[in-house]
Amino acid sequence: MFKTGMKSFIVASFLPLLFVACANHEAALKVLPNEIAQANECKTENKEFEIDCYDLISYKNSIALIRSGIHAYIAGNHQEAFAKYTLAKERGNFYANALLADMYNNGVFVKQNQELALELLEEVEKVDPIAAYKLSFQYRNKKDFKKAMRLLDFAAKNNVKKAQEELVKIYQDDKFIPIDKKLSDFWKNEFEQNNNSFINKVYGI
């Protein structure tokens, strides 16, 4: 049970993490696939059982911790979600960054801080396709289409379905880059045929 008084403590303890030297994600990349496989053993049509299972193993599994946080967020328990995302990040799970960035970007539970949200995404843009997808819109707004496309391409190749869908639209419209029907058709096929969604793989939803 997370008490209201924890809010200032959680935020204060989280902020210094952003000023630490760039984390070494190599260790996490070796561990996280095993954590995903273990967390997937919790998946069942009985959502109550699934959430209890995530909670049960979350002390040793940061993916389960993130998924438990997502269910808390969906249920409106934003303080609990923030605490779990923060703990997962502290344990080296870089997939927590995009979730925390969403909360800071929208001012959910924490004070809105779009600069901090941007830093969270930039910190993991090379290892988290979900963060890369979200960050691509920032570069499109800056009219840095080369960087935006690189981020979208990374996300799409790792089967972030929203990134694939976005590339279909971009290659059909010459607003940002020249029309390319071949690439548009390619990403449309990937979007429709390959159902192994990266977001589902990590978040379990």
pLDDT at 156 over 50: yes
Tens digit of pLDDT for each residue in 93-139?
Answer: 999 999 999 999 999 999 999 999 999 999 999 999 999 999 999 99
Is the pLDDT confidence value at 29 over 70?
Answer: yes
- Would you state the pLDDT for residue 1? 42
pLDDT the model gives residue 13? 40
Among residues of the chain, what percentage have pLDDT more than 90? 83
Say which amino acid occupies 42: C
H helices present in 2-113, as ranges: 6-14, 26-40, 47-57, 62-74, 78-90, 96-106
Is pLDDT of 15 > 70? no
Tokens encoding 182: 């071949």
How far does CA 149 lie from the centroid of its chain? 18
CA distance 88 to 63: 8
Return all residues near 168 (Cβ < 8 A) that are at least 6 apart.
Answer: 184, 187, 188, 191
- Residue 159 has what DSSP assignment? T
Which of 16-25, 114-123, 162-171 is the least confident region? 16-25
State the pLDDT confidence band at 195, using cuts at 50, 70 and 90. confident
